[in-house]
Amino acid sequence: MSFKDVFKSNFIENVTSVSIFDMAIALVLAFGLGMFIFLVYKKTYSGVMYSSSFGTTLVALTMITTVVILAVTSNVVLSLGMVGALSIVRFRTAIKEPLDIAFLFWSIAVGIVLAAGMIPLAVIGSIIIGVILLVFVNRKACKNPYIVVVRCDGHDSETKAKAFLDGKTERCVVKSKTAQKGSVELNMEIRLKDDNTDFVNTLADMEGVSSAVLVSYNGDYMG
């Protein structure tokens, strides 16, 4: 074995398997589409606490996936080793918003498609997905159910409160009733006619009504 054979390896040969120009184009496009995903996430976020680090993660994840797939597509042996290495990775961060999972898969998918050379699919697909999310996620439903909690001092005030809500809402259904000596508590599900909630103030000022609470329910819980 000569001195040159010692330094001769497949590693040196694989340096030119992916050209610098191809890598630059893939990473620039990955950054651009990652920023687009980040902006869509920022516009459609409807949770309680916005996390800017998660948005940055979407951009980084798109670029990292692109780098990994470029390496995998250039070497079959490397792809097998990559599968084994990634199989031991465990993520412990809990995803609180179900829509965040869609953004994570979107970033990964864009990185894979870009590295595979399907640039039109990555760009056009991202635009279509972004438009659909902007339209449907920000769409406000005016028929969301509400819960009204009313405290009354007796049967007469209870009847008046129920009749008042029947006239101010599209639907009013008693869900539960708690009766104690000198007080009655009603939990009623209502559907509003519009976004005006001033009727709760009028309800609280009625004779015999000690308090009125309006609670919105859209399927999300905070805990």
Residue 110 has pLDDT above 50, yes or no: yes
- Residue 133's nearest CA partner among 15, 42, 3, 7 is 42
156, 116 contact by CB (below 8 A):
no
Report how many domains make up the chain: 2
Q: Tell me: do 132 and 152 sit in the same domain.
A: no
Q: Tell me: do 27 and 44 sit in the same domain.
A: yes
**What digits encode the pLDDT tens for the residues 153-194?**
888 888 888 888 888 888 888 888 888 888 889 888 888 877
* Whole-number pLDDT of residue 158: 86
Q: Which of 109, 137, 165 is the last residue of a domain?
A: 137
Those residues with Cβ within 8 angstroms of residue 200's Cβ, 6 or more apart along the chain or in another chain: 148, 212, 213, 214
Strand order through the sheet with 145-152: 169-180, 183-192, 145-152, 209-216
**What digits encode the pLDDT tens for the residues 38-62?**
999 988 887 666 777 888 889 999 9
Q: Tell me: do 132 and 155 sit in the same domain.
A: no
Those residues with Cβ within 8 angstroms of residue 107's Cβ, 6 or more apart along the chain or in another chain: 34, 37, 58, 59, 61, 62, 65
Which CATH number covers residue 195?
3.30.70.260
**What digits encode the pLDDT tens for the residues 65-99?**
898 888 777 665 566 556 555 555 565 666 667 78
Q: Tell me: do 78 and 172 sit in the same domain.
A: no
**Residue range of the domain that includes 159:** 145-216
Instruction: Output DSSP code: residue 16.
Output: G
142, 195 contact by CB (below 8 A):
yes
Q: Tell me: do 13 and 91 sit in the same domain.
A: yes
Q: What is the pTM of this model?
A: 0.61
Q: Tell me: do 153 and 70 sit in the same domain.
A: no
**Residue at 222 is within a domain:** no
CA distance linking residue 108 with residue 126, whole number of Å: 12
Confidence band (pLDDT; 50, 70, 90) for 140?
low
**What digits encode the pLDDT tens for the residues 168-179?**
888 888 888 888
Amino acid present at 161: A
